[in-house]
Amino acid sequence: MTGTSLRTYLITRLALVVPMVLILLTLVFLLMRVAPGNPIQAALGGHVPESVVKPIEHRLGFDKPLLTQYGDYLWDILRGNFGTTITDNRPLSQIIQQNGAATLELTFFAMLIAIVVGVAIGLVAGRYRDTWLDVGGRMFGIVVYATPPFFLGLLAQLVFGVWLGWLPTSDQASPLTQALLKTHTNILFVDAIWDGNWGALWDVTQHLILPATTLGLITAGVFVRLVRVNVIRTMRDDYIEAARARGIAERRVVFSHAFKNALVPVITVVGLNLALLLGGAVLTETTFNWPGIGHELVLYLENRDYAGVQGIIVVFALVVVAVSVIVDFINAYVDPRIRY
């Protein structure tokens, strides 16, 4: 019965993905077309002769009826073709491969920092409720969550880069490292390990610390509150009282029972916070001149490159949906109550 319910849940969840993705793609398509003016002329700076605009419109399909454009747009995405930018004629697939790797690197380490810091502080705050540790943990969570990413990034650059001189304040690596390091995955951290270049790995790690910590701390605030609340609730459950009544040591009760069960909701929040991380990555990458896909999105927004903005937003939406589905699958496997 359990296997059947799990399979039914997974099939139902997958079936719901199709209309969800279709709605997202349709919204992006329509929103990009309600902006006033000619997007080609806007991207090229305005006052461009028709002899220049018309070939570009034809190449991008903007001279077709709206319904035809919509059909071509869906078909191209289905084939993995996200279009070509107007300003620099770059295929979006190339931007995703190169700049998306940098965003993946930043997001992974930011999430790692968020989980380690947020869970640790949340566990301590929940275990020692109504003490100075609890008050300090809650204050930390509120402050870092409410702080804008760009402000925290600028503060980190000022303190650790300018005043103390401990860490670099911009870019993914030094120019020498980027010139010498061979490209295997476009993720410099992985490429340095791949080549066994420990000097390059140290340089990449130094450049990664400030942006990843900035982005991770903002997300850590969510984990602090969630884990704290779940620890407090779990410590009141009947099975915890029963374990204490059997004479089990308090340390074992806390670490083997209460903490373990309090961490189950973290799986869900990890997936849900991907959207928060991607949104924060746009500001963090801009602050630290990190060559990620969020940084490219800001550049194309500034240049009013309609095709580039549309392609990158579609990629963000698809990634969030995919992670949401994966998290639902993991939750259904870990927690049987979700299947019913």
Encode pLDDT of 250-306 as tens digits.
777 777 667 777 776 777 777 677 767 777 778 888 889 998 888 888 888 888 787
Query: What was the pLDDT predicted at 339?
Result: 52
Domains of the chain: residue spans and CATH: 20-78 (no CATH), 99-339 (1.10.3720.10)
Per-residue model confidence as pLDDT tens digits over 110-122: 989 998 998 889 8
The string of DSSP letters for 55-84 reads HHHHHHTTTS-HHHHHHHHHHHHHTT---B
Q: In the chain, pLDDT over 90 holds for what percent of residues?
A: 11
Q: How confident is the model at residue 24 (pLDDT cuts 50, 70, 90)?
A: confident
Model confidence pLDDT, tens digit, residues 178-202: 888 888 888 889 989 998 889 999 9
The secondary structure of 119-173 as a DSSP string is HHHHHHHHHTTTSHHHHHHHHHHHHHHHS-HHHHHHHHIIIIIIIS--S--SSSS
pLDDT tens string 131-157: 888 899 999 988 988 888 889 999 999
- Give yes or no for residue 203 having a pLDDT over 90: yes
Q: What is the pLDDT of residue 1?
A: 42
